[in-house]
Amino acid sequence: GQNIDQPTEMTATEGAIVQINCTYQTSGFNGLFWYQQHAGEAPTFLSYNVLDGLEEKGRFSSFLSRSKGYSYLLLKELQMKDSASYLCAVVDSNYQLIWGAGTKLIIKP
Amino acid sequence: IAGITQAPTSQILAAGRRMTLRCTQDMRHNAMYWYRQDLGLGLRLIHYSNTAGTTGKGEVPDGYSVSRANTDDFPLTLASAVPSQTSVYFCASSGVPAGGTDTQYFGPGTRLTVL
């Protein structure tokens, strides 16, 4: 079967750095998305990786290792507004998006 | 530009009733999707449409039907609602069909409770 694993919940301090991991086992791979979802709201796009390596976009960076079936989202200089769930999703061989259950990130002052 | 709108925002429904969730996008996207999101589970695809006039089944299609009469609208119908269909429903769209890797954009969601 296809599987996306993320930690259920993480806690971090305002101003700090946090890394949210995602491991996947899917039938094929055609890219990996990270989305942010605030409570009660819709998911919004953060990043897309299809090649190995680090993609940096402001305070957020996303890393991919296809050989290890692994990605992480790195959030720097955490702000209270970063409190949200972070969803990892993999595009499989049929170009269907397979979604992880999401990681709830709690930021404390 | 509104993006994607969904209606209603929330609904409480008696089991056995018929319900249509509405979804409209103004981005001229070809592909549209319906997901349900339940606590502790990832988003699960119910149905999708690659272009107007075509639809396909996702991971959890039973009990749901869709139609795509035009580019903008993609309604989801529950023919006879059951309590297990209590969930938050998200409509999404993307610029290329499901055979691509284009970013999906989501509507605000409909919170449905079936009693």
Task: For residue A7, give the 3-state DSSP assignment.
Answer: coil
* Closest approach of B63 to chain A, Cα-based (Å): 21
Q: What is the dihedral of CA B88, A28, B58, A38, to 10 degrees?
A: 10
* Region B13-24 average pLDDT: 97
**DSSP states of B26-69 as a string?**
SS--SEEEEEEE-TTS--EEEEEESSTT--EE-SS-TTEEE--S
Amino acid at A100: G
Which chain B residues touch A86 with a CB distance below 8 Å?
none
Query: By CA distance, what is B10's nearest residue in A?
Result: A40
pLDDT digits (tens, 9 = 90+) for B31-83: 999 999 998 888 999 999 989 999 999 999 999 999 999 999 999 999 999 99
- Beta-carbon separation of B42 and A98 below 8 A: yes
Residues of chain A with pLDDT under 50: none
**A64 neighbors A52 (Cβ within 8 angstroms):** yes
CA atoms of B70 and A19, how far apart (whole Å) = 42
Residue B100: pLDDT band with limits 50, 70, 90: low
